[in-house]
Structure 1
Amino acid sequence: MEIIQQEFGRIGEQTVTSFTLKNENGVVVTAINYGCIITKILVPDTNGNYENIVIGHDSLEDYMEDPVFLGAVVGRVAGRIRGGAFEMDGKAYTLPQNNGPNHLHGGLQGFNKVVWQADVLEDGVRFTYLSKDGEEGYPGNLHAAVTYTLDDHNQLKIRYEAQTDKKTVVTLTNHSYFNLSGSLKRDVLHHTLTLKSNEYLELDEEFIPTGRLLNVDHTPFDLRDGASIEIGANSSHPQTILAGRGYDHPFVLNTNQDREIRLEDPESGRVLTVETDEPAVVVYSGNSLDGAGPFRGTPGAKHLGICLETQGFPDAVHQPGFPSIVLKPNEKYTSATTYTFGIQ
């Protein structure tokens, strides 16, 4: 495994470093210690052409101003929290309202907007960060760690860990926007997505789960046998229209660590398989990317990329029926997701 370190930029006295991992097959993953952002993933198509399959920028300044969480680890809590507030053990906690009246992806200064400590491993890099008690309104000093490793089976593995000294809430994910066409040549509408999922979470008008789990049968949310993203984008289903013509929904996973998520681009032949131990994946089909960008010279465009956010259920703090995201002292939060890159 070849690992190259380079200065990516500076924030005051802090140096932001890029870490490029390259395996024996020529697959490359580059990440920076600002937000644990994955800036590039280079993989081959069926003709052996290596191209970047994630949306990103070339400068730190662009990432610092980025409004769409490109490639970053988001937390302490991924997804939305209704009203920017929650109660735990009878105590109220107030969080920044950075998405209308709601809290999104950790707040104004979430994990995506801080510099992490980085340590190089034999096969990757481990990022660590201390989120202090009260940061963005969350209780407890949270010691978080995110490890990226790449192997010669073309597998990128992300492992998340956290411990706290006070009862708190946490669920982390990576917010990379994938586009398997390579170098953003096309949007993702003709990508095929296959999910082992029988149910998805219904959203209200503010994109907060209502608490209802809906069956995917006979809807554009039935991706069990694979379907193009275009089907959701062109659907007249009220939930896809609500999301901005596409998906922005948590899907409940039927299985874990069993090839439960598969994204394919028929034209390039690239395939991405995602396996996780999380209960859900939030599929976001880039419905608002026309308001962002440019990305390395490519203008922002609707459906330019797709996020596959493996995580706990959004707004679980207000839904007793959802899997808990509470972390107690003397417990350890762990989560693992593997991305396998291949061709058809």
Structure 2
Amino acid sequence: MPISIKKEHFGKTKNGKDVNKYTFEGGKTVVSVLDFGCAVSNILVPDRKGKLADISLGYDDVAGYEKNFPYIGVAVGRVAGRIAGGKFTLDGKEYKLDINNGPNNIHGGITGLSRRLWKAEIQGDKLKLKYVSPDGEEGFPGEVTTEIMYSLTQEGALTIDYTATTTKPCPVNLTNHSYFNLKGHDDDDVMDHVVQINADSCVPLDDDLIPTGELPDVSGTPNDLRSPVRLGDRESEVRKGNIDLTYCVGDEGELKYVSRISHPPTGRYIDTHTTEPGLQFYTAKYMTDAVGKGGKEYKPFASFCLETQRYPDSVNHSNFPNTILRPGYTYRQTTVFTFGVLKG
């Protein structure tokens, strides 16, 4: 059966605007996306016995996504991650942004792209969402037009294609901020998940969670995840946040295999391919004040994120991958999350 997309009303924003849910059906995996924040709201994946579970954290109503301090499921930007001190200098001019995470700016500001209503269009078996961010929004220069295309194969590969253009030079670094638990969104830990990330180096952070600028080799450290590691076997490091870093996974522009997260008891796994140079692996250490689907209180270390992106605070580090988009050029990113079941 070919993939089809079903549109249904999800609710209204506090300003009375309609929010719709778009569900990809017809394959082994079922995925739902909202036009509010481009949020991936549901991912139903079978285990090795064929039992479906919703492995994606989310909310039952629009109000949850309007609040959504953990950024559950949404697209984040204009710049994903932290910008040190909420400021940067571009072409000789300093720009000051909202401070919304300690002393820093995070994920594009107080509203960013994640709390906006996007224009949605079904194009056959694909869903295109578009948002035009006006010049000066959240303190960023330029009118930036962002389009995100979602598609799903019958075998369970969810592709997210991003493009953006601008009228003035501006940093752009987009990602999706879905939280996963392969046992189901309502489970309380991920320590029995197995992680493998193909990265020889990583991006360490200072006490304010800003990159130090170094890109050290992971060999001999808890951040060496090149061979499969059960999170529970490094639980103390996970709980300290020492594994929650951006990993350097290869050159920008090349679609490459960068990680597998699996749950041996159920057999479910997520493979990640991306054109981005960085993969932020986050085990929800700072999850707080989030009551999700079915009234479930989401807890720290009960989920994980796979944020494909350029490195955090790249705009302030000349040795990091470029995040400056200029007029006449197009920002492009492709990430593919493949949901499957382990053999055996």
Q: Taking structure 2 as the reference length, what is the TM-score of the superposition?
A: 0.95
Report the RMSD for the aligned CA atoms in angstroms.
Answer: 1.4
- Say yes or no: does 1:59 pair with 2:61: yes
The aligned residue for residue 276 of structure 1 is 274
2:258 to 257, 260, 268: 260
Following TM superposition, by how much is the alpha carbon of 1:14 offset from its aligned partner in structure 2, in angstroms? 2.0
The aligned residue for residue 17 of structure 2 is 14
- Say yes or no: does 1:315 pair with 2:313: yes
- Say yes or no: does 1:195 pair with 2:193: no
Following TM superposition, by how much is the alpha carbon of 1:289 offset from its aligned partner in structure 2, in angstroms? 2.1
Query: What SS does structure 1 have at the residue aligned with 2:11?
Result: strand
Distance 2:232 2:209 in 1: 21
Distance 2:162 2:241 in 1: 32
The aligned residue for residue 340 of structure 2 is 342
Query: What SS does structure 2 have at the residue aligned with 1:334?
Result: strand
Following TM superposition, by how much is the alpha carbon of 1:295 offset from its aligned partner in structure 2, in angstroms? 4.3
Q: Which structure 2 residue ranges, 5 or more long, are not aligned?
A: none
Distance 1:69 1:232 in 2: 26
Q: Runs ≥4 in structure 1, deviation > 4 angstroms?
A: none
| Cα gap change, 1:51 to 1:293, in 2 (>3 Å) | same
Distance 2:324 2:242 in 1: 31
The aligned residue for residue 204 of structure 1 is 206
| Cα gap change, 1:298 to 1:307, in 2 (>3 Å) | same
8 Å CA contact 2:188, 2:301 repeated in 1: no
8 Å CA contact 2:244, 2:283 repeated in 1: yes
8 Å CA contact 1:229, 1:285 repeated in 2: no
Distance 2:97 2:152 in 1: 35
Distance 2:231 2:291 in 1: 21
Following TM superposition, by how much is the alpha carbon of 1:101 offset from its aligned partner in structure 2, in angstroms? 1.1
Distance 1:245 1:295 in 2: 26
Distance 2:52 2:297 in 1: 22
Distance 1:62 1:288 in 2: 17
Query: What SS does structure 2 have at the residue aligned with 1:331?
Result: coil
Amino acid in the other structure paired with 2:128:
R
Residues paired across the two proteins, number? 337
The aligned residue for residue 330 of structure 1 is 328
1:2-151 aligned at under 5 Å gives the runs 2-11=4-13, 12-25=15-28, 27-151=29-153
Distance 1:118 1:68 in 2: 24
Query: What SS does structure 2 have at the residue aligned with 1:212?
Result: coil
Distance 1:59 1:117 in 2: 19
Q: Taking structure 1 as the reference length, what is the TM-score of the superposition?
A: 0.95
1:31-86 CA distances to partner (integer Å, 9 max, x unpaired)?
10110000000010000001101111111111111110000000000000000010
